[in-house]
Amino acid sequence: MAVKNKEDLPHVEIGILGGTEFYEIEGIEHIEEVQIETPFGKTSDNFIIGTLEGKRVAFLSRHGRGHQILPSEINYRANIYGFKKLGVERVISVSAVGSLKEEIKPGDIVFSDQFFDRTRRNSSFFYEGIAAHISFAQPVCAELSTVLYEAGKELGLRVHQGGTYICIEGPAFSTKAESRIYRSWGCDVIGMTSATEAKLCREAEICYSNMNLVSDYDVWHEVEEPVSVEIILENLRRNIHKAKAIIKKTITALPPKRSGQCDCAEALKDCIVTQSDVIPEEIKEKLQIIFAKYVK
């Protein structure tokens, strides 16, 4: 697999973060596998690029093929940088989550619109000589999330719009005490990846929405069996076809251009506080793809 420079890369409209199963969506054509160089190191895997419903899409397995990478070990910056390098403007993130509410049942799909981040990761492109502070009050692209939710409704699936995703470091699941506290805080679902991806997409001015496939009731539930890898994988396999159907319908329904409902395309405007003339040249070169509109 040859590494491609930016000049040789295909232009891609939509990025999909998930697992290997998503490469097999019925109807995808003109598939190619691309390895992308980034200044942050290797991406989790090669990008699988193809045409789906008339639009160019790029799939990336966040945990690598065969699920080799733990949530804390994912090179989030490289992954999102890779999407940006491909020209992606919208990213749909698909992942398994636990439910923290009785009414959100295993098998349901939740399009959360808020995050409570308890991780300790580097979730910013800005460091070592440049400071920027994005607005993150509304961390999910409302336009993209709404189209996904409406697609799920039209397909007759049990879907929930909105809610808070609490992002924990992992890799261990929660204790019962932690799970009960998260419930008391009003959180709806629990996972280990989305908050980090959302922050980096916002800095990269990429629309981001997550499609949370509910696999279990975490460990708080007194009747259901406590969460385990076996339960998660079994329920995730059952839900995969639902996620694929929503993605296909969403890709068809999305307008070709981002509309006025979405501010993601200018998320970095007025957010970089470091004067351009004091930003190290190597940082300017490294982050040129991210902030080219604002820093010369």
pLDDT at residue 154 in the model: 98
pLDDT tens, residue by residue, 202-244 = 999 999 999 999 988 888 887 666 666 676 667 677 788 899 9
Report how far residue 181's alpha carbon sits from residue 239's, in angstroms, rounded to the nearest whole number: 28
Residue among 275, 272, 97 nearest 190 (CA): 97
pLDDT of residue 252: 94
CB crowding 91-128: b at 16 or more within 10 Å, else e: bbbbbbbbbbbeebebebbbbbbbbebebebebbbbee
Catalytic residues: 216, 218
Percent of the chain past pLDDT 70, that is, above it, reads 91
Model pLDDT, residue 256: 84
Predicted TM-score (pTM) of this structure: 0.93
Region 14-24 average pLDDT: 80
Phi, psi of 132 (to 5 degrees): -145, 145
- pLDDT class for 24, splitting at 50, 70, 90? confident
State the first-to-last Cα distance of the chain, in angstroms, to the nearest integer: 34
Confidence of residue 152 (pLDDT cuts 50, 70, 90): very high
Pair of tokens at residue 124 = 């910013």
Check pLDDT > 50 for residue 2.
no
Q: Does residue 97 register a pLDDT over 80?
A: yes
The tally of CA atoms less than 13 A away on the side-chain side of residue 111 is 25
189 beta partners? 99, 165
183 pLDDT higher than 80: yes
Q: What percent of the chain has pLDDT over 90?
A: 76
Cα 268 to Cα 288: distance, rounded to the nearest angstrom: 13
Asked whether residue 189 carries a pLDDT value surpassing 90, the answer given is yes
Residue of higher predicted confidence among 8 and 176 = 176
Q: Alpha-carbon distance 224 to 212, whole Å? A: 19
Domains of the chain from N-terminus onward: 3-291 (3.40.50.1580)
At residue 23, the 3 state secondary structure works out as helix
